[in-house]
Structure 1
């Protein structure tokens, strides 16, 4: 016993941890404590609660009934789940690719000097400032078969009598993706534009002297400089897209059928409309694992660019 007490007395805290126990360090943790408690209340506890409920049959009212891994076995053998998963992946990654290309195109345009550039920049940034509810309701009106301006233009041009943009399983997900791209491409545009402004002009001048075309300069100067920015932005936007709920729920509710159903809306429907809290929690856990796996693989493949060289 005395040997243990002597060992404890001789124990020294490593020097790199001294700042944690300093007066400033203790005060810093005290100031962080309210934020940590709030974060734990609104984020960590619901996450752990969801994982816990995924092992139970629970309708939100009665007592949870233990079912173990039955929900997960049911999910992975469920055709409807894989349809929703396919829609979610198409929605998240196809729309991100399109908005990145559109954002890059407008960034290249705005990087040039022309009359009215500041006005054009302001107008192009407006979609990013509009709330999702307003965007969903306005695009839903635009897609209206009878009153929508898109079908009105098609009739005026003599192309078609109109398309069932969000009332057809063939076009619903594609139509929502257009609205989603329109809402988010300014995020890519502004970030790409900021990255272009940071590229030294001497590089372009040297390339021009060497006889390089604009396309060559873009491929060998602009794109390499924008690559680290693009990696971070596509990762963030992919995760935001995977987790987005409002636009799809307001415009179609996941219909018609399950043609535009994605995991966040599907989880909501199962939990609050059908009262299958346990099954919805299991689907949410699978969705969390998909997002974590994607993020880790993405960062693993491009860790040098993300971390900076």
Structure 2
């Protein structure tokens, strides 16, 4: 009888926990439906109709795949996708490497360790507009601190940075990595603190160098963390509207007009709502394909 009552109490406790979990999930689920699923479904719908100027919704005509076909005939739109991919190739490795080595540095024992950790977090909490103003002055091609320093050390024709058609995306990626690496650093720091010190002690006894310990112990153990950060950084890199709008506005010309900027311009400057929605859906599909490839490839280098 005692065992039966205990089993009933356990079942009752499980039901209570499940009920409590359901209650906590409901607000998020409602918000996700309202601000995630509903806008996506609406964008998907208008991408298949002719809503490329102001008109009543009841007058919309079915356009089928016309908006999607138009993308592949638009050199600026196609170029924007390639520019986004180019930005991702620069930004994600740079962000991951800087975040990892910052975590390795802060994982060591040194004076003012807590203060240094707080200092490293400052870029992540800084306002993006303030960051853009500071770096615009630093990288000013005519009299900025960086180019003035390069002139002092003998470089006569320093890069134009944000004002150069070949350097605008690269410079923006550097600034974006600087602004976002603290998140990578914190996650890596948590992973590094979970690595057993016994492994390093055993490796030292066997004569392993610090570099060998890094590649044979540290990187394999934190590889699940690396995968998480790489895939989230990749997805985030395509959502790059704010940083480009603040620093380059797609210029000079259209040299840094990435897909997020192009979608915004098509929708809110030219009122091509269906066309911009089709571009956004295509961008979503591109991100899905890249993420799927990353999931397949991670089996070869992630160690759980």
Alpha-carbon separation, structure 2, partners of 1:100 and 1:24: 38
Shift of 1:109: 2.3
| Matched residue, 1:40 | 33
Q: Residue 267 of structure 1 aligns with which residue?
A: 263
Alignment correspondent of 1:229: 225
Match among 42, 48, 53 for residue 46 of structure 2: 53
| Residue pair 1:57, 1:276 contacting (<8 A) in 2 also | no
What does residue 155 of structure 1 align with? 151
Counterparts in 2 of 1:3-18, with a 5 A limit? none
Q: How many residues align?
A: 290
| 2: CA distance, partners of 1:304 / 1:75 | 35
* Equivalent residue, structure 2, for 1:206: 202
Match of 1:280 in 2: 276
Aligned-residue CA RMSD (Å): 2.5
Gaps of 5+ in 2: 1-10
Matched, 1:103 2:99: yes
What per-residue deviation string (whole Å, max 9, x for no partner) do you get for residues 175-227 of structure 1?
11110111122222222222222111111111111122222211111111111
Counterpart CA distance in 2 for 1:26 and 1:222 is: 41
SS in 1 for 2:142: coil
Runs of 5+ unmatched residues, structure 1? 1-17
2:181 and 2:24 mapped to 1: Cα distance? Answer: 37
Alignment partner, residue 84 of structure 2 = 88
Taking structure 2 as the reference length, the TM-score comes to 0.86
> CA 1:202–1:152 in structure 2 vs 1: closer, same or farther (change >3 Å)?
same
Is 1:135–2:131 an aligned residue pair?
A: yes
Number of the residue aligned with 1:11: none
Task: Tell me which moved more, 227-236 or 65-74.
Answer: 65-74
For 1:81-133, what per-residue CA distance to the aligned partner results, in whole angstroms no more than 9, with x for missing partners?
22111110111232110121122222222222233333332222211111222
TM-score normalised to structure 1 length? 0.85
CA gap 1:215/1:158 in 2 versus in 1, 3 angstroms: closer
**Partner secondary structure for residue 161 of structure 2:** coil
Question: What does residue 300 of structure 1 align with?
Answer: 296
1:135 Cα offset (Å)? 1.4
- TM alignment of 1:235-274, pairs within 5 A: 235-274=231-270
Give me the whole-angstrom Cα distance separating, in 1, the residues matched to 2:198 and 2:17: 46
1:167 matched to 2:163? The reply is yes
1:46 Cα deviation after fit = 0.9
Q: Which moved more, 1:285-294 or 1:185-194?
A: 185-194
Q: 1:122 aligns to what?
A: 118
